[in-house]
A and B are shown apart, each in its own frame.
Chain A
């Protein structure tokens, strides 16, 4: 019976992936699958922004502020403080999720230009990305449920994995067949 279940799952997955491939190819008509050097530059700038904000992010999850507010302020101010921090933390996490997803998208499109993609590396990256998605959504739920001050360990993990993706992204630059990259505009500021 378990064999039957495996086969049914296999058949269903084929149907779902077939459908998704059609949808993806239809959307790809609007968005070019080739990667331009401008996209590289934009991705770099976006990442830079996220990490420049790191000092501010540290304050969002800092327990010092919370301790200060809980000793010195009225309950209404405390609630407001918690609400603001929670909103900020969720916004930051969503932004990071979006950046990593964009990086991953760029990486996958770039893999087409790579002369020798390493299967082990690609598998590892996929596993890492899936774990990142899992933990970041769990963290989102945790932030929503318990607030930003109870989730520091998960935050550290999420940031660590995001850092890993940045390193992978920079390594990917080395193995890209640059001659195959396209160009949208003529001005690049280096």
Chain B
């Protein structure tokens, strides 16, 4: 009964997010994020229909559809990255390189892990692949969050909502998956039960923060300070070079 309630709530929230997205114009602003929501909604509907009318199909369909949504969730990372670094070309290049490096490293690690683990069955192999893809996603997300924080990249309310909901979902999902693959662990059973509820909370976060369109932080306007700036920079450099040399000399033991 409770499981069904959570299931229906998730579908309703996803539909509401898509509906609000189209009325507020956020759908055009964050197309990849809304594509992901659409993909999950489709998966939920397929799951609901098969569970109701063809229960035997539900289990073989579960992991492939889950894998598809995990792949689709990478779109959210791309969306966050695209929107947050829109006005920062230098940071965009830096972040892109860092994220690509993390992606390649974790994919290689996950692929070798998958290869050595062997393939007991197709559904198990898909489940393992889905888990590893989630780990890769988590590693990329962690690096991206760190870079966003480190470079004080200003975020609008909508984008902040997307990031918070996504971090909440991926963070808990990764911990849950780690326990899921440990057989006979009672804590994993508890977490598994909590996972649909956490997804509904994530959807609620997105629903609230994307209810209306909020303005993005405005990039600094161009000014005509170049000449003054060059003089200031030259003076600063001279002062700093002098003082740092002085301090290094004084403090040498």
A102 CB, nearest partner CB in chain B, Å: 13
Counting CB contacts under 8 A, is B115 at the interface? Answer: no
Contact A8 B178 (CB under 8 A): yes
Q: Is the interface of B mostly helix, strand, loop or mixed?
A: helix
Counting CB contacts under 8 A, is A84 at the interface? Answer: no
With contact pairs A7-B178, A163-B248 given, residues A183 and B223 touching in the complex (Cβ less than 8 Å) = yes
Q: Which of B93, B171, B244, B253 contacts A11 (CB 8 A)?
A: B171
Contact A14 B250 (CB under 8 A): no
Counting CB contacts under 8 A, is B229 at the interface? Answer: yes
B236-253 contact mask (Cβ, 8 Å, vs A): 1 or 0 = 110111011111101111
Counting CB contacts under 8 A, is B94 at the interface? Answer: yes
Contact B240 A166 (CB under 8 A): yes
Counting CB contacts under 8 A, is B119 at the interface? Answer: no
A49-90 contacts to B, CB under 8 A, are: 51-52, 54-55, 57-58
With contact pairs A18-B163, A40-B236, A111-B90 given, residues A119 and B97 touching in the complex (Cβ less than 8 Å) = yes
Counting CB contacts under 8 A, is B213 at the interface? Answer: no
Q: Which of B90, B172, B179, B243 contacts A115 (CB 8 A)?
A: B90
CB-CB < 8 A to B194: which residues of A?
Answer: none
Counting CB contacts under 8 A, is A15 at the interface? Answer: yes
Counting CB contacts under 8 A, is B228 at the interface? Answer: yes
Contact B240 A12 (CB under 8 A): no
Contact B220 A180 (CB under 8 A): yes
A149-190 contact mask (Cβ, 8 Å, vs B): 1 or 0 = 000110110011011101101100110101111110000101
CB-CB < 8 A to B135: which residues of A?
Answer: 7, 10
Counting CB contacts under 8 A, is A41 at the interface? Answer: yes
CB-CB < 8 A to B221: which residues of A?
Answer: 182
Interface size on A, residues (CB 8 A): 70
Once the chains are docked, how many angstroms separate the CA of A176 from the CA of B226?
Answer: 11
CB-CB < 8 A to A91: which residues of B?
Answer: none
With contact pairs A14-B141, A153-B253 given, residues A173 and B225 touching in the complex (Cβ less than 8 Å) = no
B144 CB, nearest partner CB in chain A, Å: 9
Contact A21 B160 (CB under 8 A): yes
With contact pairs A12-B175, A14-B174, A190-B235 given, residues A166 and B243 touching in the complex (Cβ less than 8 Å) = yes
Contact A28 B220 (CB under 8 A): no
Contact A37 B232 (CB under 8 A): yes
A20-54 contact mask (Cβ, 8 Å, vs B): 1 or 0 = 11101100100001100100110010011001101
CB-CB < 8 A to A127: which residues of B?
Answer: none
Contact B243 A117 (CB under 8 A): no
B17-25, B39-47, B55-63, B147-155 - interface stretch: B147-155
CB-CB < 8 A to A153: which residues of B?
Answer: 253
Contact B244 A178 (CB under 8 A): no
CB-CB < 8 A to A119: which residues of B?
Answer: 94, 97-98
Counting CB contacts under 8 A, is B12 at the interface? Answer: no
B166-190 contact mask (Cβ, 8 Å, vs A): 1 or 0 = 0110111111011100100000000
27 sample A-B contacts, Cβ–Cβ < 8 Å, listed by A number:
A4-B182, A7-B175, A8-B178, A10-B174, A14-B167, A17-B142, A17-B145, A19-B164, A21-B145, A21-B164, A33-B154, A37-B232, A40-B232, A47-B239, A58-B250, A109-B151, A111-B90, A111-B91, A112-B152, A163-B245, A167-B241, A173-B236, A179-B223, A180-B219, A181-B223, A181-B229, A188-B232
